[in-house]
Amino acid sequence: MFVIVTYDVAQKRVTKTMKICRKYLTHVQNSVFEGMITEGKLNKLKHELQKVIVPTDDSICIYEIQNIKYTRKESIGIIRCKDNIL
């Protein structure tokens, strides 16, 4: 499946959060990652993120797209991710 992960975490947890996301997905913007991932790896990603964040202070959004057939991505400005999967 294709996922998009966005996060808004306290400054002291940004680096850890980013490193975890980089293990599984492509970094496309400051707090945004995307890419194809298996269900198992997605569960590992979620588990690792839950151990780092403080749920009362931080926010992580994970968008799961089961079928990218009807999905389109448009980028305006600097393109940080050259491998546009969509």
Q: Is 47 helix (H, G, I), strand (E, B) or coil?
A: helix
pLDDT attached to residue 75: 76
CA 43, CA 83: separation in Å to the nearest integer? 24
pLDDT attached to residue 85: 55
Half-sphere CA count of 65, side-chain side, radius 13 A: 16
Q: Judge residue 59's burial from the number of C-beta atoms within 10 Å of its C-beta, 0-12 exposed, 13-18 middle, 19 or more buried.
A: exposed
Strand order in the sheet with 2-8: 26-29, 32-36, 2-8, 59-65
Each of the 86 residues of the chain gets a pLDDT tens digit; together they read 999 999 999 999 999 999 999 999 999 999 999 999 999 999 999 999 999 999 999 999 999 998 877 787 777 777 766 555 55
Q: Give the distance, in angstroms, between the CA of residue 58 and the centroid of all CA atoms in the same chain.
A: 15
Q: What is the pTM of this model?
A: 0.86
